[in-house]
Chain A
Amino acid sequence: MSVTATPPDPMDIAPLCAETALRLLQHGAESALVESLTRRVGLALGAERVEVALMANAVTVTARIRGRSKTTVRRNEDRGINMHVVMEVQRLVLEAESGRIDRVVYRERLLAVQPLHHPRWLVAVMVGLSCACFARLNHADWAACGLVAVASGLAMVARQLLAHLHFSPLIVFGATAFVATSVTAIGFVYDFSQTPRVAMAASVLLLVPGYPLINSVSDMVKGYINPGISRGMFALLLSGATCTGIVAAMSLWKIWGWL
């Protein structure tokens, strides 16, 4: 805690709390974590009370000190899941709580947190291998696993490219599913694998919205019903878009591998 003669003004604390909440929410932290870290950092920096309200698209924070309070609303836009940011913000909050940094340093370091991204080609290769492993876990033969690795790797490259061009996530997921399903359709045309169906199913598993689904249930279990419902609905929408891409590819090539 900063050693100052006068207590801090709520005007200084509330925006910092809001920024903390926003960083966490934008990068896929669950509601319970967002609320508790926001409250904890506010209290650590000298607020008497901090109230946080989370909505699907915005976050509201009120900080109260000596009868004066400040309320801020910040709009939230999804920046994609980034556990690195969540981890860095958590560590900053721990430092503030232990009193090693004051609010000026906290602000500086919070604004300096830059999302880390692994090299794109490496992610594409690893995602390809991941989906090949899913295929193998579902008893595909090695030829099918190889096909899945290529299909999912290419799909991941398409996904990164489309996301980079700022397309809506729904379009990104649909188009990616189309690419993956189209590539695995080769397994049905040429007779090199005994398990082309498993390959087609496994190749789109990079599009399962696992994190939003788990966050959704987790939010609802912990009492954050509204954020939970909106996350769950969005996960379902993404899955619907993926399904549209799969069906489009299957009807275009007339290969009904999923049925």
Chain B
Amino acid sequence: MHGHRGGDEPVENLGVAVTLVLQLLEDMALAAVPAVGFGMLFNVPRSVLAYCALLGAVAHGLRFLLLRAGVPVEVGTLIAASAISFIGVWQARRLRAHPKVFTVAAVIPMIPGVPLFTMLITIQQIYQKGASEALLTQAINSGLRAFFVVAALAIGLAMPGLIYFRRRPVV
């Protein structure tokens, strides 16, 4: 019995690891497309779009892993946004362009669009049907989530300036 379990565990662990890696890759690929799509919406030049895709995939993948590890969503978002912002300022000097040119498009896949609209639609429902506990709870919860994740994204992107560059210009 004991020997049997001992023989099976590595195989199971391997299976779990492979599943995790596949899910991670799927998550990164699915995040890269909107990063490029919104990069085009923001008229990021073609030569820089690859950075949007790459950083978008890295950011969303990193947040995916952090959320899996049980990190709260706003903390995971803050860490992911900071990470790509540091990569961004490093590449910005080479590109001779401000990092925000491509890092904002890269964090778009992490923008809490559904909570933001859920809050607004629920507020409209509260006006129409009168306040009930369920509607108020939904409005407050989704609104707070949208607020904290957007704040985490913006502060994460500003992190190199706040911590390292301070009063010096990045580019």
Which residues of A does B touch, CB under 8 Å? 28-30, 32-33, 36, 40, 81-87, 90-91, 94, 115-118, 122-123, 126-127, 129-131, 133-134, 136-138, 201-202, 204-206, 208, 210-211, 213-218, 221-222, 239-240, 242-244, 246-247, 258-259
Bound-complex Cα distance A72 to B121 (A): 44
CB-defined A-B contacts under 8 Å, sample of 24: A30-B100, A82-B43, A83-B39, A84-B43, A86-B97, A86-B101, A90-B96, A123-B40, A123-B41, A127-B40, A134-B34, A134-B109, A201-B117, A205-B114, A206-B41, A210-B38, A211-B104, A217-B151, A217-B155, A242-B117, A243-B117, A246-B117, A247-B124, A258-B117
Min C-beta distance of A40 to chain B, whole Å: 7
Contact across chains for A126 and B37 when beta carbons are under 8 A apart: yes
Q: Which residue of A lies closest to B105 (CB)?
A: A83
State which residues 16-44 of B face A: CB under 8 Å: 27, 30-31, 33-34, 36-44
For A210, the chain B residues whose CB sits under 8 A away are 38, 104, 107-108, 111, 113
- Residue pairs across A and B with CB atoms within 8 Å: the count is 151
Asked whether B169 is an interface residue with its Cβ less than 8 Å from the other chain, the reply is: yes
B100 contacts which of A29, A116, A208, A243 (Cβ < 8 Å)? A29
Which residues of B does A touch, CB under 8 Å? 27, 30-31, 33-34, 36-46, 48, 96-98, 100-102, 104-105, 107-109, 111, 113-114, 116-118, 120-121, 124-125, 150-151, 153-155, 157-158, 161-162, 169, 171
Known contacts A33-B100, A137-B30; is-contact A214 B121 (Cβ 8 Å): no
Contact across chains for B38 and A221 when beta carbons are under 8 A apart: no
Interface centre among B45, B48, B105, B120 (most CB of A within 10 A): B120
Interface of A is mostly: helix
